[in-house]
Amino acid sequence: MSNLYAKRFKMMLEADEDLSLERDAMEASLDDVTNPAEFNTDIDDMKQAQSEINDALSRRNQEIVNELQGWINEINTFLKILNSEDATSMQSRLANAEPDTIFDKMKQSQQTKISRVASDLASLEQAFLGFMAQTKNPKYKYVLVPIAFSLSLLQMGMSYFC
């Protein structure tokens, strides 16, 4: 089926080889003050323009990737404050609260909330990491991700599984 369309397209191109007729028609439709040479296109100019657009897209997408990485880092930092094995995390401080202190009174009701918030925040972080992984997808071909950045993502992700 596609072969039929390819043949038809090729026939149309061959039948329309006389571009001078089109050029004459285009020039006849222009105003007297318009120079027809302004409509000439140079493939090298188009390639240069496309290259500049690709560079601009790459820079913008890299800025977005860097901003997303910053969010992931902040979430990770706050997760460590909320719930980590560190003795200074909120969850650890409440779990090891001295009797008859405000932390001891908070322990029962707030540990569950802290766990839920930490779980939701960890889920959000993993979703963001998933989007970061997509930056290697050819769909996002203008995003440049350094190797060191990828290694830091692996290190962050592994800290939750170990």
pLDDT band at 15, cuts 50/70/90? low
Q: Domain segments of the chain: what residues?
A: 1-40, 53-161
The answer to which of 14-18, 90-94, 127-131, 155-159 has the lowest mean pLDDT is: 155-159
Length of the chain: 162
> Position of tokens 């004459």?
24
Phi/psi of residue 131, nearest 5 degrees: -65, -35
Predicted local confidence at residue 76, as pLDDT: 93
The reply to whether the predicted model has a pTM over 0.75 is no
pLDDT band at 38, cuts 50/70/90? confident
Query: How far are the Cα atoms of 31, 150, 151, 153, 160 from residue 147, in angstroms, in the given order?
Result: 56, 5, 6, 10, 21
pLDDT band at 23, cuts 50/70/90? confident
Residue 125 in contact with residue 76, Cβ under 8 Å? yes
Phi/psi of residue 130, nearest 5 degrees: -65, -40
